[in-house]
A and B are shown apart, each in its own frame.
Chain A
Amino acid sequence: MNPERFCVKFFATPDTQVENEAIFIDIFQDWIKHRKLDGVLLDVADYSHVPSGPGVMLVAYETNYAMDHGDGQFGLYAQRKVAAEGSQQERILSLLKSTIAFGKLLESDSRVDVKLEGHKFLYISNDRLNAPNTDEAFAAVKGDLEAIATQLYPHQTVTVTRLENDPRARLTAVVEAQTPVSLEALAA
């Protein structure tokens, strides 16, 4: 079981308040213009009118990054679309690293005050054929997520649990370290 398409999401801290999300349009347009991130940056899509939707999205060839409101939880959602090299563990880690880099860049942007929680993220399988929303599929990815967590959160107790959701929804795992970690620390 080695899905090519999967997503991760880091949540915004509870005190993060973005009054005008249109500012993300400005920021992402600038990033495309100045090629601030790795990858082939393509466009900005504004879905901020959709309740509990993906908000403002930076579309890249490899990955979509969205300031997402899914399930009513604001955060940075990254959707890997193109198969990357390596094992499942390496691929997930690669997406996490690029998402952390994205988040760090956003946190450092003076135009918006967004802070992301580094100690917790969702892993979402985006491939119902190869990683359906089943116990077996969760078991197949759990070990890799635990190994990744060991790298991301050294010396911490980490839990990897399967999110109880609609069986038709995507397989989702919650990876959570015991104590808070800033995104900056995660990026280091």
Chain B
Amino acid sequence: MTTEQQGVTWKQVLADKMPAHLAEEIDTFENQMALRMQDKLDEKVFAELRLRRGAYGQRYDNGYRHDGERSQAIPFPQPELTKGPDTKWQAPGMQRIKLPYGGMTAEQMDVLADIAEEYSDCIIHITTRQDIQLHFLRMEDIPDMHRRLASVGITTREACGNSVRNVTACPLAGVCRDEVFDVTGYANETAQYFLGHKDVQDFGRKFKIAFSGCQQHPCGLTSMHDLGLIAKKAVVDGEEKEGFEMYVGGGLGAVPFLAKLFDEFVLPEELLPLSQAIARVYARLGEKKNRNKARIKFLVSKLGIDEFRRLVKEERKTIENDPEWTNWLNNIRSYEEKPAPEPLTKGESIDLGDAANDFQRWKESNVYYQRQAGFVSVTLALPLGDLTAQQMRDLSNIVRKFTPGAARTTVEQNILLRWIHEADLPALYLALKAISLHEAGAESIIDITACPGTDTCKLGISSSRGLAAELRQRLAEKEWQYDVSLRDIRIKASGCFNSCSQHTVAEIGFYGASRLVGQRRVPHFQLVLGGEWGNNAAQYGQGLGVIPSKRVPDVVEFLIDMYLSERQDGEKFSAFVHRIGKKTIRERVKPFAAIPDYETNKEFYRDWADSREYTIGDIGIGECAGEVVTLTDFGVAKAESIYFDATLLLEEQPMNGNVKAAADKALEAMLKAAHGLLKVCDIDISEDPAVIVQSFRTNFYDTRLFFDPFAKGKFASYLFKGYEQRDEVITLDRAREIIEESRLFIEAAHECNARMLQSGITSPAGFKKWLVDREMQTV
């Protein structure tokens, strides 16, 4: 598989440049590829090995693609070859490349440009966890690509899989005006320590670590991480010392959790051993069988933070001392960057010419004044997190010229250049303009974050990138990126509920959903408001209902116009949403939810940047809907309304007794949705919760009719758990959790209803026929 045209291979050429252990790992993976191609390695095992190298599958890699009318088999030359269950070997894949703390040197940027050109599609994508992703890759190219990365010190190991993922950090670390101290070195040393460590190989799910230099800014997003570290100073034994406030058990995903304070102050020498103890407890006690409950947030929630802390402290005592815990501490200052002593353009007068006004706007929105006088950091606003290989190569020259030789990626899918002499800004602007990386409005309302969505992700429901591109264009036309009153509003769009764009912590968030209208699917987005990007993402937003994809830009414009005309002096958007109230806002955006008939406007039945008629998966147009379906629709719609009431209860006065009421409402919403579905089996189904739960289990869970293609029975389990725990004491966290679970259950009910309609299950008779057919198939 290695390129061997001239008898020379990358393996040979780079032998002296790759760290030996990385070279060996890549060789091993290449051998595993060969074994898989000979069918001597199980496809499930190979899939996990591949994922641990960061090599993912992409949409349509099961060998089928819907063309808008029907699902067509993709005629790969060797369809029998697989790289995982239902995953064709020859289908293009995605590579995730880890960049600890988002750091990349100019040399690394050159290699990233080269491999994007040669193996990918010339596009480099920055992710919301400071990684880089390349798409449309061939399996055969993966080992050489890894070698070229390894030759400049980049590994893709554990970029995916159930291990420690990329360790992220505030991109301003070291230059931030408000940080307690520079966390860069701590983040990198943590990443290196856990890379391939034996204690992080047996997790039930992934484990994400983030570092932040301060409490108040969102750059580190520590509240939404499995392990979050915030820089802090404290007096210990009469001496002021650096250390960390340690948080554990945060996470977004389908059900978001805010991280819990684990320790108010952890000294640097205890950072790794304590983190290791956490990893060991998680590996030992965390869920392994049910991956939907396997993140550490569920373990912390189940045990309670106090018990979890006790177990970790006990575990800490048992771990044998490891010199690696501390031998890097004396060199932590080596991470400090040394800028050029003088501006590059000292003594020169840079004529900006016609670009003078644009330069000023760019300077106002993209430039950050460092705490070091005379120096600034500059954010490059990348559209949808993308830049070309050529831009990356040209940018590496700029990095060499204007900075100490490195740049950082950001969780907002941008690139940050640091240590620029303020006097060099005009020259830098012109250099960036020459390669089209000079756009103003970084981290503004037009700098929209989007996950891959239906473009390439197998789980995508709606086109988040298509929506983001459309929003970006429309909002930029209004020049809202220059409006200081909108400066703090972030828009983030995910293709599904899994929060990869971090929509839950945006001021305006969206995630993909679909609805059946008549007999056709319509792409939608759930509108999420009330999130807080500040304070390390300390507040999560909640859903207000679904909007057809094609009306989302109108809704955003409506919300912003409403804010601009009705806000009080100095009122931030999240405070405005809170004051007006989600109920009122929901009513006011309700008219945007209307969908014209297919014949009247087919555009609603297509997603952004896709001319195909919208579908999810390979499901075709089904049989005509009947009376009972209307009852089911009605029941699920009612459930949505009850769910919304639950969110309001929690929002109003969560500490005055509404916590339990909110949780009860959330359970009621799930019961109502289940009841609606059950009408298809029994039109006279009782409203007794016990009967609903039992009947739902029998008819929808045991038969797998409610199962999501990817999440399987996860959403049904929310109902069962909510019902079983209905009499237990409810904490605020548990109330939030069950509300999120309720929302997901209702979404799943919509999907189940659509599947039933398309399979002709529209009446008790239809349901019985389906059951009989199913049994016949299993005999």
A interface residues (Cβ-Cβ under 8 A, vs B): 1-5, 22, 25-26, 29-30, 32-33, 40, 42-54, 57, 59, 61, 64, 66, 70-71, 79, 81-82, 126-130, 166, 168-170
Q: Is the CB of B3 within 8 A of A49?
A: no
Q: Knowing A54-B388, A61-B76, A130-B3, say if A170 contacts B136 (CB, 8 Å).
A: no
Q: Is the CB of A25 within 8 A of B390?
A: no
Cα–Cα distance between A130 and B9 once the two chains are bound (Å): 9
Which one, A47, A130, A170, contacts B123 given CB within 8 A? A47
- Closest Cβ of chain B to A118, distance in Å, is 24
Among residues of A, the one whose C-beta sits closest to the C-beta of B436 is: A51
- Closest Cβ of chain B to A121, distance in Å, is 18
Q: Is the CB of A25 within 8 A of B391?
A: no
Q: Chain A residues with Cβ under 8 A from B65's Cβ?
A: 32, 42-43
Q: Chain B residues with Cβ under 8 A from A54's Cβ?
A: 121-123, 388
Q: Knowing A1-B5, A61-B77, say if A70 contacts B388 (CB, 8 Å).
A: yes
Q: Chain A residues with Cβ under 8 A from B67's Cβ?
A: 29, 32-33
Q: Chain A residues with Cβ under 8 A from B514's Cβ?
A: none
Q: Chain B residues with Cβ under 8 A from A81's Cβ?
A: 138
How many chain B residues touch A (Cβ–Cβ < 8 Å)?
Answer: 51
Q: Is the CB of B74 within 8 A of A50?
A: no
B interface residues (Cβ-Cβ under 8 A, vs A): 3, 5-6, 8-10, 13, 59-60, 65, 67-69, 72, 74-77, 90-92, 110, 113-114, 117-118, 121-123, 135-136, 138, 383-384, 386-388, 390-391, 393, 435-436, 455, 465-466, 469, 472, 609-612
Q: Chain A residues with Cβ under 8 A from B612's Cβ?
A: 29, 33
Q: Is the CB of B136 within 8 A of A47?
A: no
Among residues of A, the one whose C-beta sits closest to the C-beta of B115 is: A128
Q: Knowing A126-B118, A128-B114, say if A50 contacts B69 (CB, 8 Å).
A: no
Q: Chain A residues with Cβ under 8 A from B610's Cβ?
A: 25, 29, 44
Q: Is the CB of A49 within 8 A of B386?
A: yes
Q: Chain A residues with Cβ under 8 A from B59's Cβ?
A: 43
Among A81, A82, A130, A169, max chain B CB count under 10 A is at A81
Q: Is the interface of A mostly helix, strand, loop or mixed?
A: loop
Cα–Cα distance between A82 and B122 once the two chains are bound (Å): 16
Q: Is the CB of A53 within 8 A of B122?
A: yes
Q: Is the CB of A64 within 8 A of B3?
A: no
Which 9 residue pairs of A and B lie closest in terms of their CB atoms, listed nearest first?
A51-B436, A33-B67, A26-B611, A49-B383, A130-B5, A46-B609, A29-B611, A49-B469, A53-B388
- Closest Cβ of chain B to A34, distance in Å, is 9
Among residues of B, the one whose C-beta sits closest to the C-beta of A41 is: B74
Q: A22-B609, A130-B8 are in contact. List 11 more A-B contacts (CB 8 A).
A: A4-B3, A25-B611, A29-B68, A32-B65, A43-B60, A46-B465, A49-B383, A49-B472, A129-B3, A129-B13, A168-B113
- Closest Cβ of chain A to B423, distance in Å, is 27
Among residues of B, the one whose C-beta sits closest to the C-beta of A131 is: B5
Among residues of B, the one whose C-beta sits closest to the C-beta of A34 is: B67
Q: Is the CB of A168 within 8 A of B3?
A: no
Q: Is the CB of A45 within 8 A of B388?
A: no
Q: Is the CB of B388 within 8 A of A52?
A: yes
Q: Chain B residues with Cβ under 8 A from A52's Cβ?
A: 388, 390-391, 435-436
Cα–Cα distance between A86 and B109 once the two chains are bound (Å): 35
Q: Chain B residues with Cβ under 8 A from A126's Cβ?
A: 117-118
Cα–Cα distance between A81 and B75 once the two chains are bound (Å): 17
Which one, A2, A22, A59, contacts B5 given CB within 8 A? A2
Q: Is the CB of A47 within 8 A of B386?
A: yes
Q: Is the CB of B472 within 8 A of A59?
A: no
- Closest Cβ of chain B to A79, distance in Å, is 8
Which one, B6, B92, B386, B611, contacts A59 given CB within 8 A? B92
Q: Is the CB of A169 within 8 A of B387?
A: no
Q: Is the CB of A64 within 8 A of B136?
A: yes
12 pairs from A and B in contact (CB 8 Å cutoff):
A29-B611, A46-B469, A47-B121, A47-B386, A49-B386, A50-B123, A51-B436, A52-B435, A54-B121, A130-B5, A130-B6, A168-B110
Q: Chain B residues with Cβ under 8 A from A5's Cβ?
A: 118
Q: Chain B residues with Cβ under 8 A from A43's Cβ?
A: 59-60, 65, 136
Among residues of A, the one whose C-beta sits closest to the C-beta of B9 is: A129
